[in-house]
Each structure stands twice: as C-alpha cells, then as structure tokens.
C-alpha cells in the first residue's frame, strides 16, 4: 500500500480547527483550507504551507479527505450540499469527516445520501480544548465503516492523541452528545453549587480548597474553576450558545429514543436562560456568573 499522504481539505479553521489544521500541515499533509469571517487563521496556515480555496467545491477538487469543523448540522448540510458545496466538486471515493458536534440523525441521513453518490462520511467529534488542539492532543470519537476508519486514521492522529473507533457512522456524534451532556451538566451543577455556597457564606476559594484533589475533582472542574478563581476568560473557550445547541441535540436524541431526560432538560434550561439574556457569546465557565447574578451574589473575589 502507498505511504503517500492523502490530500486534506479543512473547512472551519476557528478555535479548534486552526490548531488541528496546523498540525496536519506541520506533519507533512498537503492541505487546502477555506476561510470564513476571520482571515487571521487562514493567513497563518497559508504562511505555514497550506493552500486556500474560495468555495467548498474548489476545496473538494483538491482533497481526498475533507475535515469539517463547523457549528453543527445546519452548517454541515450547507457546506456539503450547497450550490458550491463539496458534492459539486468531490471526486468519487472522497471522505468527508465531520468533526462538528452534530445531530446524529442528520449525520446518518447525509451519510446515506453521500454513499449513493460514491462519497463517504465519517463522524469524528472532538474531546478537548483549543489549547489541546494546538498541541495535537485532542481525542476523536469516530463513527465510520472499518475501511473508511483505516483511511482517515493517519490524518486524525496528526491532531489527536487518542483516536477511538466506536462503530458505524453516527456513533461518534451520539457519544459526543452524551459526553457533552455530562460536561455541561457539571457546569450547571458547579454554577448552582458555587452560587448557593456564596449565598450561605462559603467563598469559591473555600469551596475549591475542599473539592480540589478530592474524588469530585476532574479536568473539567479545573478549567471551570480557573475562570471562577482567576477570572481567566480563556480557561475553556466554548460558548454558551454552542453548549445550548449540544444539549438541545441531546434532547432530540432522547425524544427519538423514547427516553425521558429530566436532568438533561434542567441542564438545557440553565443554558437557555443565559443565552436568552444575551450571554450566548460568553464561555461555559462564565455560566457561574449568570447563575450568581440571578441570586444577587458575585463570585468574583472582593478587593
């Protein structure tokens, strides 16, 4: 089998995508990227050796594996099937790898449509932060046919330190929504617990002195508390509006499966209230400030 690297296309070089794309180009993959509103990441990638395409169609003509790192299913659909979309320019056998957090129902449907046209879809949603993306230390949970997984694995390993093949197309997005239900659930619980603590005279600093290093400590807790304690806005750069999208996708999966999800609904409503109040562009740990403000307290250290 040839050891030549496949040509890669990358659409969505934002918070996560820029680091992923940079790892691909640094590790010798021929790379074509497509810009969005923010030009800076595109210019940096082109300076590092990537080519730029103006449309998904043009990008598809230059790639055999195309990574998408966009907001969700609506954007994936537009990029794949739009007038100048990937389908219009892709050669037979091209694999589209959706790294977005998408609705699994949509993923499975698009995959079937693409197979009928001689194209393939894999879902490879991400675990980790933009800082880990830059370091090539993300995790990828992949849904794909075995032979497609074998093809995309080397490219995924350029930006991920943990690559897990879960099963057929759609399984990656199913698992990602479960994962995000847990993490966003933690965010909602931490925010409520910290607010109640402050209200009854336990500061975030005291709260943390007990939790840190205990069985309740974890990586998500640490980045969340990095914001709460140090006011580091960039501790976890994932917006509340995107978090809300994910817990809404989870709700639709639960509805389709006939499973009541009362805890998921409670989590969704915490995020929905913050987004409805205009906080959608805040990052997840800042949910704590919103919940605190609703209860007449502040978690910021005084003085």
Residue 27, domain member (yes or no): yes
Q: Among residues 146, 168, 190, which one ends one of the domains?
A: 168
Angle, CA of 131, 216 and 164, to the nearest 5°: 50
Are residues 154 and 188 part of one domain?
Answer: no
Q: Among residues 149, 168, 187, which one ends one of the domains?
A: 168
| Confidence (pLDDT) at 302 | 80
Residue 1, domain member (yes or no): no
Are residues 163 and 178 part of one domain?
Answer: no
Q: Which two tokens stand for residue 120?
A: 């393939």
Is 117 catalytic? The answer is: no
Contacts of 64 (CB under 8 A, 6+ apart): 6, 7, 8, 91, 93, 94, 95
Are residues 112 and 37 part of one domain?
Answer: yes
Q: State percent of the chain over pLDDT 90.
A: 94
Residue 18, domain member (yes or no): yes
Annotated active-site residue in 174, 176, 268, 279: 176
Domain count for the chain, please give it: 2
Q: Which two tokens stand for residue 303?
A: 């003085």
| Confidence (pLDDT) at 38 | 82
- Nearest alpha carbon to residue 250 among 236, 265, 237: 265
Q: Which two tokens stand for residue 5?
A: 């690297």
CATH of the domain at 163: 3.40.50.720
Q: What's the whole-number mean pLDDT along residues 98-114?
A: 97
CB 30 within 8 A of CB 7: yes
Residue 3, domain member (yes or no): no
Are residues 110 and 223 part of one domain?
Answer: no
Residue 47, domain member (yes or no): yes
Q: Please say if the pLDDT value at position 190 is more than 60.
A: yes
Q: Please say if the pLDDT value at position 1 is more than 50.
A: no
Q: Please say if the pLDDT value at position 3 is more than 60.
A: no
Contacts of 239 (CB under 8 A, 6+ apart): 280, 281, 282, 283, 284
pLDDT per position as a tens digit, 122-176: 999 999 989 999 999 999 999 999 999 999 999 999 999 999 999 999 999 999 9
Q: Which residue range(s) make up the domain with 44?
A: 8-168
Residue 303, domain member (yes or no): no
Q: Please say if the pLDDT value at position 2 is more than 60.
A: no
């Amino acid at each position: 089998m040839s050891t030549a690297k496949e040509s890669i296309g990358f659409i969505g070089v934002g918070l996560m995508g820029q680091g992923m794309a940079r790892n691909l180009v640094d590790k010798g993959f021929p790379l074509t990227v497509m810009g969005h509103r923010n030009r800076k990441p595109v210019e940096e990638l082109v300076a590092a050796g990537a080519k730029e395409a103006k449309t998904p169609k043009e990008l598809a003509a230059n790639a055999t594996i195309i990574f998408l790192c966009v907001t969700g299913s609506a954007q994936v659909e537009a990029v794949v099937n739009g007038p100048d979309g990937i389908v219009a320019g892709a050669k037979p056998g091209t694999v589209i790898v959706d790294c977005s957090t998408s609705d699994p129902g949509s993923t499975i449907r698009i995959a079937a449509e693409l197979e009928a046209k001689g194209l393939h879809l894999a879902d490879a949603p991400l675990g980790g932060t933009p800082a880990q993306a830059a370091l090539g230390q993300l995790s990828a949970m992949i849904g794909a046919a075995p032979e497609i997984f074998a093809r995309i694995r080397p490219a995924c390993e350029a930006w991920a330190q943990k690559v897990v093949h879960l099963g057929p197309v759609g399984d990656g997005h199913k698992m990602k929504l479960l994962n995000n239900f847990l993490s966003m659930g933690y965010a909602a619980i931490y925010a409520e617990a910290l607010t109640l603590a402050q209200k009854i005279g336990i500061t975030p600093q005291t709260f943390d002195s007990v939790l840190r290093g205990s069985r309740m400590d974890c990586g998500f807790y640490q980045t969340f508390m990095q914001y709460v304690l140090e006011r580091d806005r960039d501790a976890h750069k994932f917006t509340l509006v995107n978090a809300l999208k994910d817990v809404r996708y989870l709700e639709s999966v639960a509805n389709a499966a006939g499973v009541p999800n009362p805890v998921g609904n409670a989590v969704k409503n915490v995020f929905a209230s913050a987004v409805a109040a205009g906080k959608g562009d805040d990052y997840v740990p800042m949910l704590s400030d919103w919940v605190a403000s609703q209860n007449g307290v502040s978690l910021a250290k005084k003085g």
